[in-house]
Amino acid sequence: MEIESLSSGYTEPPKPVDTTPSSRLGPPIPGLYFDPSVLLPDELAESLLQKCMETYFYEENVNQVMLFERVMTRDDASLGSSASTGLPPFLRDLLSTLSAHLHPLLPRDTHKLLFPPAGSPPRARQAIVNFYRPGEGIAPHVDLLERFGDGIVGVSLGSGCVMRFAPAGGAAGPQHTVFLPHGSVYVMSGEARYGWAHGIEGRREDWVQACVGAAEGRWVMRAIRVSVTFRWLLPGADVVGGLPDADAKY
Ligand SMILES: O=C(O)CCC(=O)C(=O)O
Ligand SMILES: [Fe+2]
Protein backbone atom coordinates (compact mmCIF):
# COMPACT_ATOMS: atom_id res chain seq x y z
CA MET A 1 0.00 0.00 0.00
CA GLU A 2 1.30 3.42 -0.93
CA ILE A 3 1.87 5.95 1.83
CA GLU A 4 2.48 9.65 1.29
CA SER A 5 5.22 11.37 3.33
CA LEU A 6 6.58 8.11 4.69
CA SER A 7 8.97 8.86 7.52
CA SER A 8 11.71 6.40 8.36
CA GLY A 9 10.75 3.71 10.84
CA TYR A 10 7.06 4.34 10.33
CA THR A 11 4.77 1.38 10.89
CA GLU A 12 1.60 1.44 8.88
CA PRO A 13 -1.49 1.66 11.09
CA PRO A 14 -3.90 -1.27 11.03
CA LYS A 15 -6.66 -1.04 8.48
CA PRO A 16 -9.62 0.81 10.03
CA VAL A 17 -12.59 -1.20 11.26
CA ASP A 18 -14.82 0.81 8.96
CA THR A 19 -12.89 0.21 5.78
CA THR A 20 -14.84 2.70 3.68
CA PRO A 21 -12.20 5.23 2.72
CA SER A 22 -12.87 8.96 2.91
CA SER A 23 -14.00 10.46 -0.34
CA ARG A 24 -11.82 12.59 -2.56
CA LEU A 25 -14.95 14.28 -3.91
CA GLY A 26 -17.27 16.72 -2.16
CA PRO A 27 -20.12 15.07 -0.23
CA PRO A 28 -23.72 15.49 -1.41
CA ILE A 29 -24.56 18.28 1.03
CA PRO A 30 -26.48 21.22 -0.41
CA GLY A 31 -24.40 24.39 -0.23
CA LEU A 32 -21.08 22.56 0.18
CA TYR A 33 -18.72 23.07 -2.72
CA PHE A 34 -15.49 21.18 -3.04
CA ASP A 35 -13.77 20.03 -6.21
CA PRO A 36 -10.35 18.37 -5.84
CA SER A 37 -9.32 19.69 -9.24
CA VAL A 38 -9.77 23.29 -8.10
CA LEU A 39 -6.36 23.84 -6.52
CA LEU A 40 -4.37 26.97 -5.89
CA PRO A 41 -1.23 27.06 -8.04
CA ASP A 42 1.46 25.17 -6.14
CA GLU A 43 3.79 28.16 -5.94
CA LEU A 44 1.04 30.32 -4.42
CA ALA A 45 0.02 27.61 -1.93
CA GLU A 46 3.65 27.20 -0.84
CA SER A 47 4.23 30.93 -0.46
CA LEU A 48 0.98 31.36 1.51
CA LEU A 49 2.00 28.57 3.84
CA GLN A 50 5.39 30.16 4.36
CA LYS A 51 3.87 33.60 4.91
CA CYS A 52 1.42 32.25 7.54
CA MET A 53 4.21 30.34 9.28
CA GLU A 54 6.56 33.32 9.51
CA THR A 55 3.83 35.86 10.32
CA TYR A 56 1.72 33.95 12.85
CA PHE A 57 3.24 30.66 13.92
CA TYR A 58 6.85 31.48 14.77
CA GLU A 59 6.02 30.93 18.44
CA GLU A 60 5.65 27.40 19.72
CA ASN A 61 2.35 27.93 21.58
CA VAL A 62 0.30 29.81 18.97
CA ASN A 63 -2.02 27.66 16.88
CA GLN A 64 -4.83 30.01 15.93
CA VAL A 65 -5.02 33.61 14.78
CA MET A 66 -8.24 35.58 14.22
CA LEU A 67 -8.26 38.65 12.03
CA PHE A 68 -11.17 41.06 11.82
CA GLU A 69 -12.06 43.55 9.16
CA ARG A 70 -14.24 46.48 9.97
CA VAL A 71 -16.64 48.15 7.64
CA MET A 72 -15.05 51.21 6.04
CA THR A 73 -16.72 54.39 7.29
CA ARG A 74 -16.91 57.60 5.30
CA ASP A 75 -13.97 58.89 7.40
CA ASP A 76 -11.88 55.84 6.45
CA ALA A 77 -12.77 56.32 2.81
CA SER A 78 -11.72 59.96 2.94
CA LEU A 79 -8.24 58.78 3.98
CA GLY A 80 -7.94 57.16 0.57
CA SER A 81 -7.87 53.62 -0.69
CA SER A 82 -4.86 52.78 1.48
CA ALA A 83 -6.98 52.97 4.65
CA SER A 84 -6.59 49.63 6.39
CA THR A 85 -9.65 47.43 6.75
CA GLY A 86 -7.91 44.89 8.94
CA LEU A 87 -6.83 42.00 6.72
CA PRO A 88 -3.20 41.89 5.63
CA PRO A 89 -2.50 42.42 1.90
CA PHE A 90 -1.55 38.76 1.30
CA LEU A 91 -4.97 37.63 2.54
CA ARG A 92 -6.73 40.29 0.48
CA ASP A 93 -4.79 39.01 -2.54
CA LEU A 94 -5.83 35.47 -1.64
CA LEU A 95 -9.47 36.56 -1.65
CA SER A 96 -9.07 37.95 -5.19
CA THR A 97 -7.45 34.71 -6.34
CA LEU A 98 -10.22 32.68 -4.71
CA SER A 99 -12.85 34.76 -6.40
CA ALA A 100 -11.37 33.95 -9.81
CA HIS A 101 -10.71 30.27 -9.02
CA LEU A 102 -14.17 29.64 -7.61
CA HIS A 103 -16.04 31.42 -10.36
CA PRO A 104 -16.50 28.31 -12.55
CA LEU A 105 -17.30 26.06 -9.57
CA LEU A 106 -19.96 28.05 -7.73
CA PRO A 107 -23.52 28.94 -8.62
CA ARG A 108 -23.71 32.63 -9.43
CA ASP A 109 -25.56 33.51 -6.19
CA THR A 110 -23.06 31.69 -4.00
CA HIS A 111 -20.17 33.39 -5.76
CA LYS A 112 -21.90 36.75 -5.22
CA LEU A 113 -22.47 35.92 -1.55
CA LEU A 114 -18.76 35.29 -1.03
CA PHE A 115 -17.41 37.93 -3.37
CA PRO A 116 -19.97 40.73 -3.66
CA PRO A 117 -19.65 42.86 -6.76
CA ALA A 118 -18.38 46.42 -6.46
CA GLY A 119 -21.07 48.76 -5.21
CA SER A 120 -22.65 46.19 -2.85
CA PRO A 121 -23.28 47.35 0.73
CA PRO A 122 -20.00 47.18 2.66
CA ARG A 123 -19.51 44.20 4.99
CA ALA A 124 -16.66 43.12 7.24
CA ARG A 125 -14.92 39.78 7.01
CA GLN A 126 -13.23 37.67 9.61
CA ALA A 127 -10.36 35.34 8.83
CA ILE A 128 -9.12 32.49 11.02
CA VAL A 129 -5.73 31.00 10.38
CA ASN A 130 -5.34 27.61 12.08
CA PHE A 131 -2.16 25.62 12.59
CA TYR A 132 -2.38 21.83 13.06
CA ARG A 133 0.40 19.44 13.86
CA PRO A 134 -0.10 15.80 12.83
CA GLY A 135 -2.46 14.30 15.42
CA GLU A 136 -4.34 17.57 15.99
CA GLY A 137 -7.83 18.44 14.81
CA ILE A 138 -10.80 20.62 15.54
CA ALA A 139 -13.94 19.51 17.39
CA PRO A 140 -17.14 19.23 15.35
CA HIS A 141 -18.87 22.60 15.32
CA VAL A 142 -21.10 24.97 13.42
CA ASP A 143 -19.34 28.33 13.05
CA LEU A 144 -20.87 30.75 15.55
CA LEU A 145 -24.39 31.70 14.51
CA GLU A 146 -24.44 34.88 16.60
CA ARG A 147 -21.24 36.18 15.13
CA PHE A 148 -20.92 35.05 11.53
CA GLY A 149 -23.14 35.22 8.48
CA ASP A 150 -23.64 32.82 5.61
CA GLY A 151 -20.81 31.88 3.26
CA ILE A 152 -17.52 30.41 4.51
CA VAL A 153 -14.54 29.70 2.31
CA GLY A 154 -11.57 27.65 3.50
CA VAL A 155 -8.14 26.86 2.08
CA SER A 156 -5.92 23.94 3.11
CA LEU A 157 -2.16 24.46 3.05
CA GLY A 158 0.80 22.23 3.75
CA SER A 159 -0.98 18.95 4.37
CA GLY A 160 -4.16 17.22 3.44
CA CYS A 161 -6.60 16.05 6.07
CA VAL A 162 -10.04 14.53 6.27
CA MET A 163 -12.94 16.76 7.30
CA ARG A 164 -16.05 15.12 8.72
CA PHE A 165 -19.55 16.50 8.24
CA ALA A 166 -22.33 15.39 10.57
CA PRO A 167 -25.89 16.67 10.91
CA ALA A 168 -25.84 19.65 13.31
CA GLY A 169 -26.99 19.29 16.91
CA GLY A 170 -26.23 15.56 16.96
CA ALA A 171 -29.25 14.81 14.76
CA ALA A 172 -29.39 11.30 13.33
CA GLY A 173 -28.35 10.78 9.75
CA PRO A 174 -25.43 9.77 7.62
CA GLN A 175 -22.10 11.47 8.08
CA HIS A 176 -19.68 12.29 5.30
CA THR A 177 -15.92 12.51 5.23
CA VAL A 178 -13.91 14.27 2.55
CA PHE A 179 -10.18 14.51 1.99
CA LEU A 180 -8.97 18.10 1.56
CA PRO A 181 -5.57 18.11 -0.15
CA HIS A 182 -2.89 20.82 0.05
CA GLY A 183 -3.96 23.81 -2.02
CA SER A 184 -7.64 22.85 -2.11
CA VAL A 185 -10.58 25.11 -1.34
CA TYR A 186 -14.00 24.42 0.15
CA VAL A 187 -17.11 26.56 0.47
CA MET A 188 -19.89 26.11 3.03
CA SER A 189 -23.11 27.98 2.46
CA GLY A 190 -26.79 27.57 3.25
CA GLU A 191 -27.59 24.07 4.53
CA ALA A 192 -23.91 23.10 4.68
CA ARG A 193 -23.14 26.12 6.86
CA TYR A 194 -26.22 25.96 9.15
CA GLY A 195 -27.43 22.37 9.11
CA TRP A 196 -24.15 20.47 9.36
CA ALA A 197 -21.30 20.40 11.85
CA HIS A 198 -17.78 20.12 10.45
CA GLY A 199 -14.71 18.89 12.28
CA ILE A 200 -11.31 17.27 11.86
CA GLU A 201 -10.39 14.24 13.94
CA GLY A 202 -7.08 14.42 15.76
CA ARG A 203 -5.24 11.77 13.73
CA ARG A 204 -1.78 11.33 12.29
CA GLU A 205 -3.03 9.70 9.12
CA ASP A 206 -6.24 9.44 7.13
CA TRP A 207 -7.78 6.48 5.33
CA VAL A 208 -8.61 7.92 1.92
CA GLN A 209 -9.82 6.63 -1.46
CA ALA A 210 -6.78 5.46 -3.41
CA CYS A 211 -7.99 7.68 -6.24
CA VAL A 212 -11.21 9.56 -6.95
CA GLY A 213 -14.17 7.22 -6.57
CA ALA A 214 -12.07 4.14 -5.71
CA ALA A 215 -13.45 1.53 -3.32
CA GLU A 216 -9.90 0.80 -2.13
CA GLY A 217 -8.27 3.04 0.42
CA ARG A 218 -4.77 4.05 1.30
CA TRP A 219 -3.20 5.76 4.27
CA VAL A 220 -2.29 9.39 3.76
CA MET A 221 0.03 10.74 6.42
CA ARG A 222 -0.60 14.19 7.80
CA ALA A 223 2.08 16.84 8.01
CA ILE A 224 1.80 20.36 9.37
CA ARG A 225 -1.40 21.88 8.03
CA VAL A 226 -2.42 25.52 7.99
CA SER A 227 -5.96 26.49 7.08
CA VAL A 228 -7.24 29.93 6.23
CA THR A 229 -11.00 30.44 6.48
CA PHE A 230 -12.96 33.57 5.67
CA ARG A 231 -16.48 34.43 6.85
CA TRP A 232 -18.71 37.48 7.18
CA LEU A 233 -19.06 39.26 10.49
CA LEU A 234 -22.65 39.98 11.41
CA PRO A 235 -23.36 43.65 12.24
CA GLY A 236 -21.98 44.43 15.72
CA ALA A 237 -19.95 41.22 15.86
CA ASP A 238 -16.70 43.10 15.29
CA VAL A 239 -16.84 43.94 19.00
CA VAL A 240 -14.80 41.02 20.30
CA GLY A 241 -15.41 39.35 23.64
CA GLY A 242 -18.37 38.07 25.58
CA LEU A 243 -19.50 35.38 23.17
CA PRO A 244 -18.50 31.78 23.82
CA ASP A 245 -16.41 30.37 21.03
CA ALA A 246 -17.50 27.01 19.69
CA ASP A 247 -14.23 26.33 17.92
CA ALA A 248 -12.37 24.09 20.34
CA LYS A 249 -9.09 22.99 18.79
CA TYR A 250 -7.44 19.92 20.19
O1 LIG B 1 -9.08 23.84 9.38
C2 LIG B 1 -10.12 23.94 8.75
O3 LIG B 1 -10.19 23.81 7.52
C4 LIG B 1 -11.41 24.21 9.51
C5 LIG B 1 -11.33 25.35 10.43
C6 LIG B 1 -12.66 25.69 11.00
O7 LIG B 1 -13.61 24.97 10.87
C8 LIG B 1 -12.83 26.95 11.72
O9 LIG B 1 -11.83 27.65 12.00
O10 LIG B 1 -13.98 27.28 12.04
FE1 LIG C 1 -15.45 25.99 11.32
In a domain, 153, yes or no: yes
**Tens of pLDDT along the chain (250 residues)?**
333 443 445 566 666 656 899 999 999 999 999 999 999 999 999 999 999 999 999 988 999 999 999 887 666 666 655 445 689 999 999 999 999 999 999 999 999 999 999 999 999 999 999 999 999 999 999 999 999 999 999 999 999 999 999 999 989 999 999 999 999 999 999 999 999 999 999 999 999 999 999 999 999 999 999 999 999 999 877 655 544 444 455 4
Residues flanking ligand 1, CB < 6 Å:
128, 130, 138, 143, 154, 198, 227, 229, 247
pLDDT score at 76: 62
In the chain, how many domains are there? 1
Name the residues around ion ligand 2, CB cutoff 5 A: 143
Say if the ipTM goes beyond 0.95.
Answer: yes
The residue whose C-alpha atom lies closest to atom 4 belonging to ligand 1 is: 227
Print the domain residue range for 217. 32-232
CATH number of 46's domain: 2.60.120.1520
Residue 47 inside a domain? The answer is yes
Cβ atoms 219, 15 nearer than 8 A: no
